[in-house]
Amino acid sequence: MIRSALLATALMLAPAAARGDEVWSTAIGQVVYEADIGDVAVLAFPTKSRGGGKFYFPGLGGNFDDRGTFEGYWIVDGEGDCPATLTGADGLWSNNWGRAIITFDAKGFPSDWTLLRGSCFDAPAEEIRGES
């Protein structure tokens, strides 16, 4: 009985532990796996604006052992040039956003990645390399 309870507790904490350990060094600063909102993974990154920026990847949330390529979007808190406002899964909204594609080097946690991002509706082309 106690053994089952300990196993259940360990399994519940495993994704949280992996989330907290996922920090990557990039040319734009440290990118941190901040949260899962349903199946959406939220990765935070630093910016000059007070609120920073976030990448949102549907399908990546809670996925620590079957990673590949995920399409999503990014939002930076503050004024931008996009013709519309976009709201993220966590409620962050701005007209400073764009599309993003992340590709992990390995299927399981931990893994480095390559990310492409574009502004507004532009195709993602700016490459960002994340290394743990």
Per-residue pLDDT, 50: 79
pLDDT tens digits, 81-104: 999 999 999 999 999 999 999 999
Per-residue pLDDT, 20: 54
Is residue 2 over pLDDT 60? no
In total, how many domains does the chain have?
A: 1
Residue whose C-alpha is closest to residue 87's, from 63, 54, 118: 54
Give the range of the structural domain holding residue 71, as residue numbers without chain letter: 2-130
